[in-house]
Amino acid sequence: MSGAFVIAARRSAVMPVGGAFAGLEVHALAGPVMRACLADAGIAAAQVDEVILSNALGAGGNPARVAALAAGLPEHVAGLSIDRQCAGGLDAVILARAMVESGAAEVVLAGGAESYSRRPLRLRTDPAGGAAVAYDAPPFTPWDAGGWGQERGMHAAAAALAERLGISRAAQDAFAIASHARARATHQPEIVEIEGVLRDGFTRDLTSALAARAKRVAGSIAAANAAIAADGAAFCLVVSERIAMQATRALRIVAGATLGADPQEPGLAPLGAIARVLSLSLAPGMALERSEIMEAYAVQAIACIQGAGLDAARVNMAGGALARGHPVGASGAVLVARLFADLQQGYGLCAIAAAGGIGSALVLKA
């Protein structure tokens, strides 16, 4: 069984809902990013065996197929769409690794794209014949009729986690301020220009005064310490060892894992997956060079960094989702694109939580 390698990784800028990408469908976001990956690696479109695309908010169908055609890939690329909500973009890369290592494919474009601005309206029919009821997201547990699956439920879960762990509003705001500052100070070369945009649209000079005035959404969770809804896309080119040997740059996918955890504390769900991939990757005494941890909420990122025993100084060194925004199905792939851009030696980690108590993690080696 040969290994699987990432030889290119790119993303769009991440733009707030209603921003510069508001008029773009999923395939319009995905296509330029996919083409950039191929161009970076010198891989012809005809060499692509499969596209795996994570999308959480679309209307279903098979957006991976639409994106593959929009990117100019040959008709034989069928496209595989997946939905594991926030974790889907990272899971697409983990699935691509499995396809390559099994010999089912040699060249896979894997990642995610989310047009939050163009998401369809959803209506739940009434079996008794009453009026259909609008909803934003489905439930993520069988005992939940719409609470934990809704954005307000995720806010409440984050607030409960902050209270249980004693992570204050001030600590969360400080974490968010630092995320913005790091993002503002760093050039992020992995971004593909779309609609003339080359920088994340939400990143700003967040100060303590601005954070203190931010609207509270639940408990200690406020607009300043929670990632905003956003549009964006990110993809990785995952290939076999044979192809990687010809590449200018190749990072081995050492380990990947997705595990379920307590659905009422989704913020801690990555801890089990992180522990598993690190146990498969690092010998005792070895350290990670860099980590990209999802910042859906400051409290969730703080809890994962502390719970996994990560070196905070090496986490999200160019800022995180608090400074970018959260294009749900693409966010996990954004982490991989960021890590690929910056990891020059040693081992790097990506990890993300998802609604329903799901955590995914992946380790790359330069």
Q: What is the pLDDT of residues 168-200, one digit of tens each?
A: 999 999 999 999 999 999 999 999 999 999 999
281-288 mean pLDDT: 87
What is the pLDDT, as a whole number, of residue 134? 86
Alpha-carbon gap, residue 126 to 43, rounded angstroms: 50
What is the pLDDT, as a whole number, of residue 151? 57
347-353 mean pLDDT: 98
6-33 mean pLDDT: 98
Q: Is the pLDDT of residue 89 over 80?
A: yes
Is this prediction's pTM over 0.85? yes
pLDDT band at 152 (very low <50, low <70, confident <90, very high): low
Q: What is the pLDDT of residues 29-84, one digit of tens each?
A: 999 999 999 999 999 999 999 999 999 999 889 999 999 999 999 999 999 999 99
316 Rama sector, left if φ>0, alpha if ψ -120 to 50, beta otherwise? left
CA dihedral sign of residues 215, 117, 21, 57: positive
Lowest average pLDDT, out of 140-149, 156-165, 192-201, 296-305, goes to: 140-149
Higher-confidence position of 154 and 98: 98
96-115 mean pLDDT: 98
Lowest average pLDDT, out of 13-17, 97-101, 117-121, 150-154, goes to: 150-154
Q: Is the pLDDT of residue 102 over 50?
A: yes
According to DSSP, residue 33 is labeled H
Among residues 114, 88, 100, 118, which one has the least CA distance to residue 49?
Answer: 100
Lowest average pLDDT, out of 86-95, 153-162, 216-225, 250-259, goes to: 153-162
* Packing angle, helices 63-70 and 26-41, rounded to 10: 60
What is the pLDDT, as a whole number, of residue 154? 86
Q: Tell me what percent of the residues of the chain surpass a pLDDT of 90.
A: 88
308-330 mean pLDDT: 98
Domains in the chain: boundaries? 4-118+230-251, 151-187+208-221+254-365
Amino acid at 48: V
CA dihedral sign of residues 138, 141, 145, 150: negative
Q: Which two tokens stand for residue 170?
A: 């001030």
pLDDT band at 137 (very low <50, low <70, confident <90, very high): confident
CATH number of 151-187+208-221+254-365: 3.40.47.10
Top-level class of domain 4-118+230-251: alpha beta
Among residues 60, 68, 85, which one has the least CA distance to residue 153?
Answer: 85
Higher-confidence position of 138 and 294: 294
Alpha-carbon gap, residue 162 to 175, rounded angstroms: 13
Q: Is the pLDDT of residue 121 over 90?
A: no
Among residues 229, 240, 227, which one has the least CA distance to residue 48?
Answer: 240
Q: What is the dihedral of CA 154, 159, 163, 166, to 10 degrees?
A: 100
Return the bridge partners of 276, or none. none
4-118+230-251 matches 151-187+208-221+254-365 in fold:
yes
Q: Is the pLDDT of residue 149 over 70?
A: no
What is the pLDDT, as a whole number, of residue 23? 96
Alpha-carbon gap, residue 178 to 306, rounded angstroms: 17
CA distances from 310 to 162, 191, 257 (A): 19, 26, 18
Q: What is the dihedral of CA 245, 249, 254, 260, to 10 degrees?
A: -130
Q: What is the pLDDT of residues 225-235, one digit of tens each?
A: 999 999 999 99
Residues forming the active site = 86, 326
pLDDT band at 108 (very low <50, low <70, confident <90, very high): very high
Query: How does the average pLDDT of the chain come out, rounded?
Result: 95
Q: Is the pLDDT of residue 255 over 70?
A: yes
For residues 308 and 280, is the Cβ–Cβ distance under 8 A?
no
